[in-house]
Amino acid sequence: MDWLATLNLFVRIVERGSFSAAASDHGVSRPVATAAIKALEEQLGTRLLQRSTRHVRTTVEGQAYYHRCVAILADLEDADRDAGGAVAGLVRVDAAGHLVRKVLLPELPDFLAQHPKLTVYLGGGERFVDLVREGVDCVVRAGELVDSDMVVRRLGVMEEITVASPAYLAQYGTPHAPDELDGHRMIGFVSSRTGQPLPLELTRDGSIIEVALPARVLVGSADTSAAAARLGLGLCQAPRYRFADDLASGTLVEVLAGFAPSPTPLSVLYPSNRQLSPRVRVFVDWLVKTISPRLDMD
């Protein structure tokens, strides 16, 4: 394994915390990865990694070497690009599945055409992702974000609405104001942070009010929540773009339009403790330019 490939492998091992995971990412066997790092340590005359049966951690020297490697590799990518070379490599992205299917995929062919040497891995999740540990370059997330060591770039804000199926409204009636929600049910979307169902959020006279309705169906996925709403199992809230087809076909009906939830911010996040590589930078810049028009954001 050449020197540059070994540096990339070392960085990946540190970020993944695993020889096996990093070796898989680079398409080599674990023994090959182990031998390459051993040779690197012998060449440097110092131990870079502390190995145990479950974890791999950097030594003090290894942590310093990791940061230098990250900067060097990013500088090399920049140098290649400045010299006329194309941005190349793999960009690992995590975003909610529906956002991937509805917003990112339709625009992705143009991005790939602009950058023919880039490969994009799209993971569709709604759970917390440890970017460094899981080897993810950036994530797209909705909502107000808690303080973290991530760099956050705002993509826009999404209009939120409340919907129900015609069958549900025929059974429970159509609410026109928050005071008319007695006797209604909601699809209980369980917060990954609190483990509790989130209440419906409505606005009245410029103020946000929360209404916790009974929920016989609890879900942990926005796709499942929407599917449950189509089956008449309760009121549901989500960005308008998600329900565009349902509203057009009449599968779902918007209710409480005059008391709509507050818009939801959408952001892309990436680690602040490492230099942003050109391949990730071009993808993030593309996201900023692309997503807002696709979502009809305010």
Q: Secondary structure of 200-238 in the HEC alphabet? A: EEEEECCEEEEECCCCCCEECCHHHHHHHHHCCCCEEEE
Reduced to 3 states, what is the DSSP secondary structure of residue 198? coil
pLDDT of residue 298: 42
Summary mean pLDDT of the chain: 86
pLDDT of residue 127: 56
d(Cα 171, Cα 234) in Å, to the nearest integer? 11
pLDDT(120) > 80: yes
Backbone phi and psi for residue 90, each to the nearest 5 degrees, phi listed first: -110, 130
Reduced to 3 states, what is the DSSP secondary structure of residue 277? coil
The CATH number assigned to the domain with range 160-262 reads 3.40.190.10
d(Cα 165, Cα 232) in Å, to the nearest integer? 5
What CATH architecture does domain 89-155+266-295 belong to? 3-Layer(aba) Sandwich (3.40)
Label residue 297 by pLDDT band (50, 70, 90). Answer: very low
Burial code (b: 16+ CB inside 10 Å, e: under 16) for 259-283 equals: bbbeebbbbbbbbeebbbbbbbbbb
Average pLDDT over residues 239-262: 94
CATH code matching the domain that covers 3-82, chosen among 3.30.40.230, 3.30.565.10, 3.30.2310.20, 1.10.10.10: 1.10.10.10
Pair type for strands 236-239 and 138-142 = unpaired
Give residue for tokens 């909705």: 142
The model carries a pTM of: 0.67
Contact 154, 148 (CB under 8 A): no
3-82 and 160-262 share one fold: no
pLDDT(213) > 90: yes
Label residue 291 by pLDDT band (50, 70, 90). Answer: confident
Backbone phi and psi for residue 188, each to the nearest 5 degrees, phi listed first: -80, 100
Domain ranges of the chain: 3-82, 89-155+266-295, 160-262
Average pLDDT over residues 234-259: 94
Residue 32 burial class via C-beta count within 10 angstroms: exposed 0-12, middle 13-18, buried 19 and up: middle
* The token pair that represents 208 in the structure block: 């946000």
Average pLDDT over residues 137-155: 79
Give the model confidence (pLDDT) of 4-21 as tens digits.
889 889 988 887 888 888
Apex CA 232: angle with CA 177 and CA 241, to 5°?
70
* The token pair that represents 129 in the structure block: 């992702």
Give the model confidence (pLDDT) of 31-51 as tens digits.
999 999 999 999 999 999 988
Give the model confidence (pLDDT) of 172-201 as tens digits.
999 999 999 999 999 999 987 788 999 999
pLDDT(248) > 70: yes
